[in-house]
Chain A
């Protein structure tokens, strides 16, 4: 099988291929009645085929649109494949989409048939079907609460199969012929963007596009055949379409479905998934669960777990400020593994995990380190539903600060991704899976194009040593300096706040300024303990914040972040706040968000001092004490410049 023409070209063709060559192999599992029920490729193909006949009888034609809405269930996959079999386009929506969102998509994509999982979805779909008469059928498969529904437009899963039976008997080759007619460039899916800016737009996704993305992920992540995967990401998210729907067929993988959406954790543990694809929030909640559990156990056990995790982290994800790893540590690691790390992985269902992915957004270095210490390396993949996969953490080059390196390698489905960073700092890409446009929106499509380049709208940078990309922010959210250089306040602030020494930080710089500066609220607790160890004496917060040793530590933290930024966007000067930021004084909101304008006005003197290049200013600000009295704080605030902001330093 060398050229793409020899391979099946569409997802249904792959399904037929699997059913023919791997008929008896288990392809999917669904936990029902407390037991993992297994489905072979043969079972699935027969089911999908019957549904496809049902759709034909309901009058669904090639090129029309079928919508699916519900939780991750085998039926969602089968329904999608069945619609694709007869050449229909599909749309999958989030199960919590509102009636208005559903209606917009029904109209925009001219949906003729809706697969609505249960009563919740049927209740949304029914009134829409009345207003949009092109909707001919609503199919459900979870009966709870639907017993008394009489609407003729409703049909359950089995009734749909039954309705196709006569046709199946009289024309036994019809669906197979429809599958054969399929072409790689047929539209398989319209994946709707979340619509944070204006109306949702349906991204045209062809079969080849889906297969191309699946191939990229399979190759770069080295997904083994028959890899165990739990379908958990919503099907409305392009990632699940690449991983579950397309790669599941292409690799093939074994797709598992939990009994109920809230039993994911249990299911992962029972299956012991080899490929786990979570968003940062799921990883965080997993880590939080371990921490919470640790609070409940006897102190000696807690200390044992902490010791093992810490040892694992020092060896597997070393940090600069930690003591060197000795041979002794290496010798102790197997003991830590045996006593703590392995059982912990088993508890979390990560025992067999070879590929742990974090998608959607960056996870904090602490979370990365937590799992790395346990022996689970979180890798990132970056892409967008318009263009496809753009970059992946490949092989062992995993740096939690980056989004991996661009996928420049081509495969059977097309060339690799070519990329450039525009003068505005925007990542632009072409070739690769490619952007086929928005459904029925040529103007919007044109907006995303610059010649033959696709504009991602994301500002990225490069990690100094290699082709690894760093995600900063949306281009629209970037700030600009007087010389036009762009930088992301949010990126810098978030990264700085990861440092244990920094509690709050305000990054400054705008079109009237020539450099980026920062005001730092140090973490007095951490520094208090630090000062004790270092033998540094101090009296008040003001005193502590202006100690040279403390300023030096903060400078190190900022320089570490600076290394990930282009030269003009680096923090050049900073000063420590002489007092803690306080919601009572209006510097923070009650939810501890920065009140930027107020802070800038209040600490005007320091800011002007930083831009004037001075090394010390004295300020006098009013403070309100707890009992309501107003006093004033007079302090000398030191300003520190950072060495690696003006030129690339060796560090």
Chain B
């Protein structure tokens, strides 16, 4: 097994039955606007779940609730055995839930490697003082984290861009760096918000391959918000469909494609 996969696996392989992530009866209101109403989803330990729906259906809102950026008006989110509904964002990240954003929130002047190292921050223990004085401990820790970051570079085939500032790279590559930074956190689950928006077909295929690899090699479950139906139907194990803040379907891709409600509400009545 890939060394990075091994490392990551150790953490994610906490054997447990039942879903790893469960959102129960989530309702989210912004004033009078109901963004989500009574949505429940579950994500298993080895699952790639796609979240789809027309614009404004509440996909990103749900992702933001899951990762703690929004606090739901009603309902709760359970990750592992832990209720994380009202925990601060950084605690949720520490619990092992990593996410990427629409667009990229990378540090454009820093190199690919440094951006990925940022993802390791959570696991670093060196204080600023010992880092300045470069204690043997700080040195050792730096080496370990660098080795881990290199494994991710290898996994995502970014070695040749290691020292390039992220700002000079193409959008497709930047999204891959974004994924790399999320992986650097050694998450137990990944939430990806429209990772393929604005990409060309080739970039999409590349990234889809890497997302599948994350699931296959590292056994990390993935929740994916995506507009591209082709990608969704190809990669997802299960598809959850939202419409006007409600969950209207939750099934495997083949069933979704035949679901009359989905067809009329989302894909349009013509199909």
Contact = CB atoms under 8 A, between A and B. Distances in A.
Given A34-B162, A262-B160, A144 B155 contact: yes
B2 A143 contact: yes
B160 A259 contact: yes
B2 A33 contact: no
Interface in A242-295: 259-260, 262-263, 266
A3 interface: no
A33 B216 contact: no
B13 interface: no
A33 B3 CA distance: 12
A147 B150 contact: no
A148 interface: yes
A143 B4 CA distance: 11
B216 A148 contact: yes
A263 B217 CA distance: 26
A33 B5 contact: no
B163 to A, nearest CB: 8
B128 interface: no
A50 B160 CA distance: 31
Contact of B159 (A34, A143, A148): A34
B150 A34 contact: yes
Consensus secondary structure, chain B interface = helix
Contacts of B146: 33
B147, B159, B216: most-surrounded residue (chain A CB, <10 A): B159
Contacts of B154: 33
Interface in A133-164: 143-145, 147-148
Interface string B25-60: 000000000000000000000000000000000000
A33 B213 contact: no
Contacts of A148: 216
A147 B159 contact: no
A259 B159 contact: yes
B129 interface: no
Contacts of A259: 159-160
A263 B157 CA distance: 12
Given A34-B159, A260-B159, A260-B160, A145 B213 contact: yes
A260 B157 CA distance: 9
Interface string B162-185: 100000000000000000000000
Contacts of B153: 33-34
B16 interface: no
B14 interface: no
A264 to B, nearest CB: 11
Q: How large is the interface on B (under 10, 10 to 19, 20 to 34, 35 or more residues)?
A: 10 to 19
B269 interface: no
In this complex, the member of A33, A145, A259, A260 whose beta carbon has the largest number of chain B beta carbons within 10 angstroms is A33
A266 B161 CA distance: 12
A139 to B, nearest CB: 16
B133 interface: no
Contacts of A266: 160
A144 to B, nearest CB: 7
Interface in B204-261: 209, 213, 216-217
A144 B216 CA distance: 11
A143 B1 CA distance: 7
Contact of B5 (A147, A262, A263): A147
A33 B150 contact: yes
Interface residues of A, number: 12
Nearest to B218: A147
Given A260-B160, A262-B160, A263-B160, A147 B1 contact: yes
A31 B216 CA distance: 27
Contacts of B113: 34
A155 to B, nearest CB: 14
A33 B151 CA distance: 7
A149 to B, nearest CB: 10
A147 B213 contact: yes
A266 B213 CA distance: 28
A82 B7 CA distance: 31
Interface string A33-61: 11000000000000000000000000000
Contacts of B155: 144
A145 B214 CA distance: 10
Nearest to B150: A33
Nearest to A263: B160
A615 B1 CA distance: 79
Contacts of A143: 1-2, 5, 217
Interface in B1-21: 1-2, 5
Given A33-B147, A33-B154, A144 B162 contact: no
B160 A147 contact: no
Contacts of B160: 259-260, 262-263, 266
Contacts of A145: 209, 213
A263 B162 CA distance: 12
A148 to B, nearest CB: 5
B151 to A, nearest CB: 8
B2 A144 contact: yes
A259 B2 CA distance: 17
Given A259-B160, A263-B160, A147 B147 contact: no
A147 B162 contact: no
Contacts of A34: 113, 150, 153, 159, 162
Contacts of A262: 160
A266 B159 CA distance: 12
For A147, A259, A262, A266, the residue with the greatest tally of chain B CB atoms inside 10 Å of its CB is A147
Nearest to B159: A259
A143 B216 CA distance: 12
A260 B156 CA distance: 13
A384 B260 CA distance: 68
B139 to A, nearest CB: 15
A259 B161 CA distance: 12
Contacts of A260: 159-160
B9 to A, nearest CB: 10
Nearest to B212: A145
Contacts of B147: 33
Given A34-B159, A144-B2, 8 more contacts: A33-B150, A33-B151, A33-B153, A33-B154, A34-B150, A143-B2, A147-B216, A259-B160
Top 7 nearest A-B pairs (CB, nearest first) are A33-B150, A147-B217, A143-B2, A147-B216, A148-B216, A263-B160, A259-B159
Interface of A: 33-34, 143-145, 147-148, 259-260, 262-263, 266
